[in-house]
Each structure stands twice: as structure tokens, then as C-alpha cells.
Structure 1
């Protein structure tokens, strides 16, 4: 054991840099996997906890006032109901912020869908104007207990007495109004009612919705939301961040394992004589294997423990969503299991890969085998000999031959280096896609920057005149948006009519063609998946009891409503209802116009009649992904650096026995140095070509697959620009060559006696 430790210590002193990089790379990988576990827990647990504690309803159905909702409690599979509660659609403002809201008349604190108070108190019958806000809606308004909400266009005010958590669909500007619980007396002009159903079997949600709509009648149902939709919205971008971290963490772990395997294999080839001496003095094959195994497992263990300690101690202090995720994750029951299991699994994987490579050391014979003095990389190939005959620089030819002369070993070296470079290309593509949402929103399904919604009764001509006079607006597209029941009547989708046949809305199409004719429409990926239809199919839906049949001619990139949107022109919807008037306007701004300033100007000019807000950009929620991508690129660069150091060390050791022959044929130390530098550069160049050739299509497939699963749809993936790819490749190749220059120069200037000793 003492001899083993001395050998390991001497090897550590000789390879300090490589050991440090292994520790740092392992720490980065384990930290990525732990953060991925934290984000997955953060994405799922808060909503699930609220849903369980509040006895949340599995289905919420908005109906007309005259609907006979009492019959729903008698349906098979319905355990209990919440409501029905009268509702009123209003616009509220607080501290200059306006937002649509649903006033829900709640006579008593419900048992099903029971709001969980965060601050303040519940409704008091003695305060007819007191209301409780959903916590997410309160954050959007920057409201807190004691604030007074105003209803623009009226003299009414509401007093915020409490803030509560709810498992219902969250507030989304322009898509989902904020939820406000109020006494029934505060709901002065109820436009409908809402009822919640808690089911005995949540898996039968679709069937329960279908039966409820059948009982009530399609004309009585305005909108349906389910617990699956609310859960998916609550998880949102956090789950995507967790998937990205998990994917790159696992990929980095494989890359690190391969790098360790290559490093050990190269070191064994360079220490064959030393290993033979160890065996000659009494080391058994098992002891030799344990030297390498324990040494690299110790590196991995140190890095894993450091990552776990830093994540546990400092993770919650990271600003933004990552810090919040770690804080919530540390309070979950499976936190301790994940904190131990992830580092242990990483160390075991690296140990298994290390054992496979170290096993070769145990097979080294105890009597050193004299290696034949041949050209680096083996006997010169015909191509190399012809290149020398053409009087190409000998250093370049021999360097290329050294890199690719031994095909099996060369392919392994290129593959190990290409893997971290490939993952870097994928990370760069993710970064570019996020940037494209900000720099070219029209190409990513966001041609309009602002949405303007009008109060009921506001004349279209008056609103258009106001919008046409406003500065900074390039185009105005009038439209309507309403909920529609899908065929089978088990879910609702968003039916949108925007623009006219003469001035169509510029949807970003990924497939098909624009909707230009009567009854033609484009649909989001989420709707196509929900209805299991394709481009060219006809879809029948129900809007307020009236059928609407549309022909899907294209698929649009649709970031809103999880892609469950079908869009046509306002003229098409008016063909069924000539009295239909626009209730919203999408505004496309001139280049350079500030959306916030334009929105403020419109709000002031509208004198309380207009609700103006920015169109939500899904990339805003992915802003933490940039820091994650940067960190992953750093970890992958460390792994690539380890592999480069291994390749350089192997090239230098392989060249030691050829040094005498190279000097004998007249090569100078500078030319001999150029051989190793060229060999390293050629290996890096081949790895870059493989990484770019495979990484770009892989990145497109992964990003588009995520787009399809989220409902946005394929077609959002953006590859890095050609200059960026070329700069990445040049940096990798030139960096590898520069890294190889110093050790190659030292080896080329070694004394002849040292060279003879190394070749013996």
C-alpha cells in the first residue's frame, strides 16, 4: 500500500494540471446534474403542493348565466363541486399597471379549489369592496394587502385584503385574466358563471369534460380548463431548463468518462517500462490496476463532493430562478436522496470507465518489450511518401501522418475530442435560438409587439383613429379572440381572427401556405397534436353554440396558449356573424420604436378605455438559460482541454523514440516541434469538422423536438452564423496548436542521452 501511494503521489506531481482539470470538470458535471434535479423538483412540486392542499378542482367550466350547472354534481365520477360562482370580466389598475381580471363572487371560502392565503385575510362580509388576489396576478400588478384597485372607465374601487395561492391556470397577459375572489355583491354585472369539478379518477378528465358539455349543451359552455393544462403552465420554462441541464450534464459525463479513458490509455502507453518495473519488483496486476483506478476515482470523488457542497451551501444564493429552485428543492422529501445519488452515480461511472482503461495496465508483461524504431504513426503510407516526393514540408507531412497513421487510435482520439465540441455546438445553437426570439421576433411567431384590447362598447372607428395617430406604429391588425370547443367537446382552444383579406396578419409559417381564401386558417402545433389533424384537413369547432368549420392550410409558429390556437382572418369570422366587431388590435411597430413608450402613450391617449400590454415573448422566461449555457460551455471546454492534453502527451511520448531518426535525416528542432504541433492541429481540425457536421443537425432536431412538445412547433431552431462557426473552429484548432507548442519544443531539444534512455 505504501508503494502504491508513493507511485500515485509521484504521478500526481507530474500531472498536476491534468488532475486539476479532471476535478473541475467532474465538479461542473455534478453541479449541472444537481441543478437539473432541483429545477425538475421546482417545476413540479409547487403546483402539486398547492393543488393537494387546496383540494383543487380537476376541471373548471365557464358557462352562461342560464346554464343548469346543478346537474353536474350528479354525474358519475364527480366527487364534489366548487360553485357555481358568478363572474364578471373587468379591467383593474394599480400603480399605473392595468390588467384584465375575472371577478369571482365567492360567498364563503370554498372547500374545493380552496385558495391558500399567503398574506392578509379572507373576505369579510362587512367589507363589500374587499377582494383577494391570486398571488401571480398580485405580482403582475405589484399589489399587496391595503392597496386600492381602480376599475378604469368607472368610479368603482376594490380594496385588496389578501393574497392567496391557487392551482388554477395562471395569469398571462392577453391570454388568461387574473383571478380575483370577491363578495357576490361586488360582482355587479355578471356575464356568466364558473363551476369546478373534483373527480374521483383524474385520468378520466377528458371523458368527464365531454359528459359535462353534453349535459349543459355546447352553447352554454364558454371555456374549459383542466388540471393538466394548469400543471403544464406552472411547470413552464423551469422544466425546460431542467431538461437542458440534465441533457448536457449527462452528455458531459460521458465526454468526461471518455476523456479519462483516453488519458489513462495514453499514460499506460507512455509508462510501459515503469509498469514493467513495478511488476518485476513484486506488484501484482491487481495492484497496478488499483493504482490508476484509485487515483482517478479520488479525483472524481473530490470534484463530486465539492460540487455537492457548493450546490447545497451556496445554491440558494444564486440570483434568479436557479436560486429559487434550489431553495424549494432543499425542502422536498427526495432532496437528500438526489444530493447523494447524483454524485455517487457520477463517481461510479467515471470509476467504471477508469477500470476498463486501467485493466490494460494489468496486462503489461513484467519484462519490457523493446519497441521498434519506426516513423511516428507507423510505417509511412504511400500518400505520405508521395507527398514527401512532391517536396511538401516534411514537418507537415510527418505531422499529418502522426495524427492519422494509426487509424484505430486516431479515430478514438478524434471521437473523444469531438464529443465535447459537439455539445458546445449544440449549446451555441440554443443560445442563437434564444437570441433570435429577441432580434427577429417576426420570424419566431411574434410579428406584433403590442396588443390593445378595448372596453365593451368602444367604437371600432374611434379606436382605429386613435391608433393611426399614435407615433411609432407601422401597422394595425384588428381582430377577435374567443374560446372554442373542439370536436368531441372535451377541451377548448383559442379561435383567433386577425387582419383582413386585403391586409392579412403576417403569421410566421413553418409549413403550408398563408390563409388567404374563405374558411382558410393556420394552426399551431399544439392544436394539430390535440386534434390529431394535419395540414389540408377540415376542422369543425363550436363557438357559443354555433358551428365554425375551417380548412387548415398551414402551420404557424405559435408561442401563445401552448400552440392550441387556430387563426384565420377577421373577414372569415364575420361571414358567420356580420355584427362581429374587433375587440383587440395587434400592433407592429416601426424599427427602433420602444414598445414600453408606445404602450404608455396609447394608455394615456385612451383615457382608460384601452388595455395595452406587450406580447409575451417565450424567450423572456428562458433568460436564465444563457447563464446555464455559458457554464456548460466552460465545463465542456475543460473536458476538451483534458483530451487535448492527453493527445499532446501521447504525441510527445510517441515522438521521443523517433527523435534520433528525425535528427539524423537533418530535421531541426523547430521542424521536429512542428511535427507534433501539426499532428495536434490535424486532430483538432478533424474533431471540429465532425462536431460541426453532426452537432448542427443534432441541435436542430433537439430544439425542434422541444418546440413540438411545448406546442410552439418545429421550425424555431437557429444555427449559429457561419462567421461564428468558423471562429469557433479556428479557436479550437489554433488553441490546440498553441497548447502543443511548448511541450513539443521541450521534447525536441532533449539531449541525445535522454532520448536513448527513453527509446530503450
Structure 2
């Protein structure tokens, strides 16, 4: 082995703390970067990849079984432009109730023998098994319902059918094309069809070209032309489903990039600080190496090698750890998007390792170049302790503070090495910023989720409206809303309102009715939520403007303002049942229903066009301390006679939000660990530099506890400063990233989503910098306390 190699190996073995710190810092940086890079790849066009993996349907079509036959539908699979087809599958709409006789949103059920046998729409079974016999049901997992509502083993009853048959959920599956809400064996369809009615047929088509709406329309026209007139009753383009799924992807990218930048900057700071400290503490050794004939270039290479060896080991472990962590996270993202990503992306691993090692090498070279520039005589003459007089003003100042002397001595130490102290303040600041950002992001997402709850208790029709899959409005593509329940009379509405207001625990209520109108310049109908009651504004978060107070005023969301090029104060004209209604935009609310195109207004606004419009549902806010479940049970007997039922508002947390919360917590812990390692290295350097001084203190009577107090006090100022800098930086980062996430989804966000920190929280997060500093200082403080006085006095 060459002389240079022996110097490198000796330095790595002798400076064990610095070696371990560099290795761990690089490992954490690479782990976080691999995790972030892998998820960024997974979040890049996930719908398109899942669509290709599952042979998704470009067109999902529903046909009237009385106007066409299975044979004719099979032939339509060979229409011009059709590259593949699956079906015909028999379909039926069911309206089940759960084990407590509460209505379940209606489901479109398809008869299908196997999940993956079709050439189009290979359904993925993610839990349980496929239906194999009568009375068994596989349900769609679309993330819009809490998991326990559609868990395997759940039994639903069908009261509208003769004999009230039951269906047991035996599996949960995902369809990238959302072709059904549930699947049963084909033989089951006849038993689920209401007597006297005919079920329908479903066909799934893939086209040779379907990249644009025009191309999908061309394919649809070819299918329609191959079948009897009016046989096609509804259809849905894959582009509509794709657009609806794009929002989750936009959420992941900004915060992954933020954590990636934080991790890389902290790694550069700490690696530079470690190498600079090694040069500082090894000044005399550098002089000896030069005196023995080492050139400045060889000295630099020696310190560069001492940094790169642990960096290489850390990078290797980091790749393994990063990929291992990404596997369970990708299992969740695969479930969200319906993809089948394995988790290991070789080019991401290679790119992260190469980039991190390059940064480490450049940082180490810049820090080590000082060693090459030192003159041999100066290096031999200089000791390891700070120059006399440096920081003395701080020592004199802290001595006046009414605190124990060991504490005041520690408080003065950082000022003897201001550059090194500034670096550690920066590292702590990044750690504090990461923690603040993490908690702020989680709180913002919680607030966003809270906007989905418009009441604690919901009063709705006895049988929810059937129609589109799941009884929920389909956004977009030529699917009729379907029949609705019998409209309520004004007398019934008044009786329900009387029962609600008389019920103990009622804080307020909002009656809502769905309506539609058209507007010049926009294609299709605009959904309107017409409201009555005194509690409608509490269910929405205002971005700007005010809530409507009288007829003729509307509140809209950002996508509507964007699509119509309007702003608050503008007046637009709606056409409802041939009646033109001029309305004024008075407020912008955060409302993502119907892709943000829903209008909110008082029911009286539509009175001229729809005089008989009555609320279909009532959202009730209960008083503090009132149990919503008990309230709902008490109200139920009072409204059952009006064909109405109660349920508690229970909107589950979307899986993408769970993924983001888990990742922010994990990445924050990683960055806090990096910051603590930086503190550890700095305190070790300071302790070794001052070992003789510590020996003098011990000889004068300093106890081990006092030694620990002195060492910990030496990082308190850095921790306090880092927390004071990092906390507002984390708040700024949280606001910027959350705003960007909202912008990517097409929304302005209300203040309640952005302003999630109060004064108390900010103070606590600011003090978190001290916690990080103390965590990093505990080990070297213990080492200093255990150092024997005689050994410390002999050290120079």
C-alpha cells in the first residue's frame, strides 16, 4: 500500500466519529433521495401506466337490453377503429342497506366470471377473493368510502327485491376504468333485477387511437352505427376518468422536491463542516505530512479519501435502506393509482448515488483545500485550541449572567469558532424547518379534509338516488343522472325542519337541493346546490369575498372563476328551465364538488324557474358535547314517516393523504437525525480541542454533572438560534408547498388551510432547535464527563 493510502486508512480509523457521521449523513441523504426519486417516478403519469398495465377501456358503454342483443354487441367489437373489446356483460343497479338498515349508495353491478379474463379492463383483486357463487359480491375500491363500510365479510340486504336477498362482500377490487361499483357471477344478475324491468348490457372498448376527445367521439360514433338506434344509453370516456385521477399526482411532487432539497443542502453543510473540523483539529498532523515530503495535492487527496470512503459505504447502505422503505410506501401508492410498480428503479439509484457522491467530493475538496494551502512551518507551530483571545468578549459577557459557572462557560464556547458554529446553526435550522414543515403540512391536509364534512349528521331520502356508479354524480361524460326519488312536498320539508330544530343538541342545519343551469360560453350544464337554513356557510371555507346573504347571489370555487374568466363582483346570467336568472358572484369558497364547477346559492334564487324545488338532504351541525351517533338515533323516529333517514357524516381520509402524512413524518425524522449528527460531530471536535481545558476544570473541582451541563450549554445558543431561524422558514415552506399543491389541483386555498400555526405552536417549534442540539450533544457530553483528569491534563 502506498504512503498516501496508509495515511487515508489511518485517518479513517483514527477519526471514528467523523467517519461514522459522514457515513450516516450520506446514508440518510441517499435513502431520502432514493425514496423521493422512486415516488416521483411512481407519481409520473400513474394513471397512464396503470391504464396500460390493466388494458383499461377507452370507452365504457351501457346498452338497453330491450333494443339490442348480446350477439349484436359482440359484433360491435369489430367496428371501425376498435382494437379490442370485452363483453357483453349483464348489468343491474341495486340499492342495498347495511346491517343497521341504513341505506348504502346505489351500486352498478356487473356480471363477470373472472377479474382478469377480459381483453379490456383487467380488474385487480386487492383483498379477499372473486365471487364464485350466488349471494357473493366483489366491490370496487375507489377510496371514496371508509374501508370498514365495504370490508370483506360485510353483509348487505336488498329490501326492494322479492324475499329481501342478501349479498356478502367476499372481495375488494380495483378497476382503472371504474367500469362498475361491484361484480357478481353472471348467473346472479337475474336475481338482482327488479321484476318487470329489464337489465342492461355493458361493453368495454379499446380504440386504435384515443388520445383526444375527438378520437374517442369518433370511436363512439362507429360503435353506435354498428348497433340499432337508441341502443346506447350511456357512455364514459377514459379521458374523463383520467382527468379526475390527476389531482392526487399533483399533490406528491411539490413536497417530495422540498424534502429532497432540504436533505441535500443539509448533507453539504454537515460534510463540509466535518472535513473542515478534521482539517482544523489535524493542523499539526498536516504539517508533519508536509515535512515528510507530501505535496499539497497529496494532502488534499488524503483528506478527500478520508471523506469518500465512509461516503461510499453510506451511499451503498442508503440505496438498500431507501429501496426497502419505498416498498411499503409504493404498496400504498399502487393501491391509490392501481399501478404495479416494483419499487426498485435502477437509474434512480445510480443517479442518486452519483449525485450525492459528487456533492460529497466537491464539498470535501473545498474544505480540504485549506489543508493543502497551509505552510509547513505554520502548521507545525499551530496547536489545536482556538487562538488566544478569540471569544473572550463572550466569556466576559456570559460570566455576568446569573447562572451556574459551568453553564456560562458553555454558552461562551460557540463564539470561539464562529464559522463552525454558524454551520451547525444552519444544520439545526434545516432540521427545525423540516419538523415545522412536516407538522404544518399534516395540519393543512387535515383542514382540507375537514372541508369535505358539511355537517355532523345527514338527513336524506329513505332510498338514495340511484343512477351513476355509487349513486354519486359522474363528472363529465354523457352519463345521465338517472331517476330520482319522489320529490318532497313543502309540507314534508317543513315537518322535517321542525323535527330538526326541535331536537336537543341542534346547532344549525342546511337543507340542500340539486339543480342545474346553463351559461353562455360553457358547454354542458352547471350543477347548482340550492340551500335553505341557517347553517350553510359553516360547511365551507371562504377564500375571498363573503357568503351569499340574499337571492341572486352565488358563491363559486376557483375552477369556475378560471373557466369563465370572472371574478368576485361580476354578474353572470344562468338559464334554468328556459328562465334567465342574473346572479352576482359575491364569494369564492374552497369546494371541489363537480371539479369545482358547482354553484352555491339560496334556493330562492331559483324560485322563478323551479318554484317547487325542495331540499333533498339536510346537513346538521350539533352542539359541542353532543354525540352525533346518539343524536342521529334520537332524530330517526321523528322523520321516518317522511321517508327520510339519518346517518352520521363519515368521510374517510383519502389514501394519498395518508401516504403524504407518513412520508412527511419519515423524512422529517431523517432530517432531524442528520441535524443531530452534525451537532454530534461539532461537539466532539469542540470537546477534543478543549480536552486540556476540561482537565483544568476537573482539577479545580468541576463535577461530571457540571461537565455535562457545560457541554450541553455550548450548543444551547446554536439550538436556540437554529430554532428561531428554522421555524419561520418551515412555516414559509409549508405555505409555499401547500399553495403550490392547491395551484396544481386548480384551487386557491382558504386561510384556514394555510394558517395552521398559532403563537404557542410557533414557540414550541422554535424550542425544538434546542432539543435537536441537546440530542446531538448528549454522547460527547458523557464522554467529556468520563474523561480522567490526569489524561486530560496530559493532552495537548
Q: What residue is the counterpart of 1:512 in the other structure?
A: 545
Structure 2 residue matching 1:446: 3-state secondary structure: coil
Task: Note if contact 1:33-1:250 (Cα within 8 Å) is conserved in structure 2.
Answer: no
Q: What residue is the counterpart of 2:370 in the other structure?
A: 360
Deviation string, structure 1 residues 541-563 (Cα, Å, up to 9, x no partner): 56677666532222223354554
> Structure 1 residues 470, 23: closer, same or farther in 2, change over 3 A?
farther
Structure 1 residue matching 2:95: 3-state secondary structure: strand
Structure 1 residue matching 2:104: 3-state secondary structure: strand
Task: Please list, as runs of the form range in 1=range in 2, the aligned pairs for 1:75-224 lying within 5 A after superposition.
Answer: 91-93=95-97, 98-101=103-106, 103=108, 114-118=120-124, 134=140, 136=142, 142=150, 150=158, 152=160, 165-168=174-177, 186=193, 204-205=212-213
Deviation at 1:583, TM superposition (A): 1.8
Deviation at 1:577, TM superposition (A): 0.9
Question: 2:313 and 2:550 mapped to 1: Cα distance?
Answer: 66
Question: 2:579 and 2:94 mapped to 1: Cα distance?
Answer: 25
Q: Quick check: 1:305 aligned with 2:342? A: no
Q: What residue is the counterpart of 1:565 in the other structure?
A: 598
Task: Note if contact 1:420-1:640 (Cα within 8 Å) is conserved in structure 2.
Answer: yes
> Structure 1 residues 413, 550: closer, same or farther in 2, change over 3 A?
same
> Structure 1 residues 709, 573: closer, same or farther in 2, change over 3 A?
farther
Which of the numbers 726, 730, 740 marks the counterpart of 2:763? 726
Q: What residue is the counterpart of 1:551 in the other structure?
A: 584
Q: What residue is the counterpart of 1:457 in the other structure?
A: 486
Residue segments in structure 1 that go unaligned for 5+ positions in a row: 67-72, 172-176, 214-220
Q: What residue is the counterpart of 1:57 in the other structure?
A: 58
RMSD: 5.7
Deviation at 1:650, TM superposition (A): 4.7
Q: Quick check: 1:448 aligned with 2:455? A: yes
Deviation at 1:271, TM superposition (A): 0.9
Deviation at 1:517, TM superposition (A): 2.2
Q: What residue is the counterpart of 2:481 in the other structure?
A: none
Residue segments in structure 2 that go unaligned for 5+ positions in a row: 68-75, 222-231, 464-484
Deviation at 1:591, TM superposition (A): 2.9
Deviation at 1:427, TM superposition (A): 1.4
Task: Please list, as runs of the form range in 1=range in 2, the aligned pairs for 1:665-744 lying within 5 A after superposition.
Answer: 679-711=714-746, 713-714=748-749, 715=751, 716-733=753-770, 736=773, 739=778, 741-742=781-782
Deviation at 1:184, TM superposition (A): 14
Structure 2 residue matching 1:367: 3-state secondary structure: helix
Task: Note if contact 1:479-1:583 (Cα within 8 Å) is conserved in structure 2.
Answer: yes
Deviation at 1:692, TM superposition (A): 1.8
Structure 2 residue matching 1:264: 3-state secondary structure: helix
Deviation at 1:410, TM superposition (A): 5.1
Task: Note if contact 2:254-2:737 (Cα within 8 Å) is conserved in structure 1.
Answer: no
Task: Please list, as runs of the form range in 1=range in 2, the aligned pairs for 1:306-385 lying within 5 A after superposition.
Answer: 306-312=317-323, 316=327, 321=332, 330-331=341-342, 335-369=345-379
Deviation at 1:475, TM superposition (A): 3.0
User: Which 10-residue stretch deviates more, 238-247 or 391-400?
Assistant: 391-400
Question: 2:574 and 2:63 mapped to 1: Cα distance?
Answer: 17
Question: 1:373 and 1:135 mapped to 2: Cα distance?
Answer: 68
Question: 2:202 and 2:569 mapped to 1: Cα distance?
Answer: 36
Deviation string, structure 1 residues 619-668 (Cα, Å, up to 9, x no partner): 675234443333222211221112213433454466579899x99xx998
> Structure 1 residues 288, 526: closer, same or farther in 2, change over 3 A?
farther
Task: Note if contact 1:207-1:490 (Cα within 8 Å) is conserved in structure 2.
Answer: no
Q: Quick check: 1:478 aligned with 2:511? A: yes
> Structure 1 residues 40, 152: closer, same or farther in 2, change over 3 A?
farther
Q: Quick check: 1:36 aligned with 2:36? A: yes
Q: What residue is the counterpart of 1:174 in the other structure?
A: none
Q: What residue is the counterpart of 1:522 in the other structure?
A: 555
Task: Note if contact 1:373-1:657 (Cα within 8 Å) is conserved in structure 2.
Answer: no
Task: Note if contact 2:692-2:793 (Cα within 8 Å) is conserved in structure 1.
Answer: no
User: Which 10-residue stretch deviates more, 131-140 or 266-275?
Assistant: 131-140
Q: What residue is the counterpart of 2:284 in the other structure?
A: 273
Task: Note if contact 2:552-2:584 (Cα within 8 Å) is conserved in structure 1.
Answer: yes
Which of the numbers 282, 298, 312 marks the counterpart of 2:293? 282
> Structure 1 residues 694, 347: closer, same or farther in 2, change over 3 A?
same
Task: Please list, as runs of the form range in 1=range in 2, the aligned pairs for 1:365-514 lying within 5 A after superposition.
Answer: 365-369=375-379, 387=397, 403-404=414-415, 411-434=422-445, 441=450, 444=451, 446-454=453-461, 455=463, 456-457=485-486, 459=488, 460-461=492-493, 463-464=496-497, 473-482=506-515, 488-490=521-523, 494-500=527-533, 506-514=539-547
Question: 1:140 and 1:165 mapped to 2: Cα distance?
Answer: 17
Structure 2 residue matching 1:511: 3-state secondary structure: strand
Deviation at 1:515, TM superposition (A): 1.1
Question: 1:642 and 1:504 mapped to 2: Cα distance?
Answer: 50
Structure 1 residue matching 2:619: 3-state secondary structure: strand
Task: Note if contact 1:384-1:398 (Cα within 8 Å) is conserved in structure 2.
Answer: no
Deviation string, structure 1 residues 247-303 (Cα, Å, up to 9, x no partner): 313321221122111111122122111122123223333433333333333333323
Q: Quick check: 1:633 aligned with 2:706? A: no
> Structure 1 residues 646, 105: closer, same or farther in 2, change over 3 A?
closer
User: Which 10-residue stretch deviates more, 597-606 or 336-345?
Assistant: 597-606
Structure 1 residue matching 2:106: 3-state secondary structure: strand
Task: Note if contact 1:316-1:322 (Cα within 8 Å) is conserved in structure 2.
Answer: no
> Structure 1 residues 450, 114: closer, same or farther in 2, change over 3 A?
farther
Task: Note if contact 1:512-1:555 (Cα within 8 Å) is conserved in structure 2.
Answer: yes
Task: Give the TM-score taking structure 1 as reference length.
Answer: 0.74
Which of the numbers 251, 254, 265 marks the counterpart of 2:265? 254
User: Which 10-residue stretch deviates more, 487-496 or 296-305?
Assistant: 487-496
Deviation string, structure 1 residues 182-209 (Cα, Å, up to 9, x no partner): 7899487799999999888766549989
> Structure 1 residues 130, 189: closer, same or farther in 2, change over 3 A?
farther
Structure 2 residue matching 1:576: 3-state secondary structure: coil
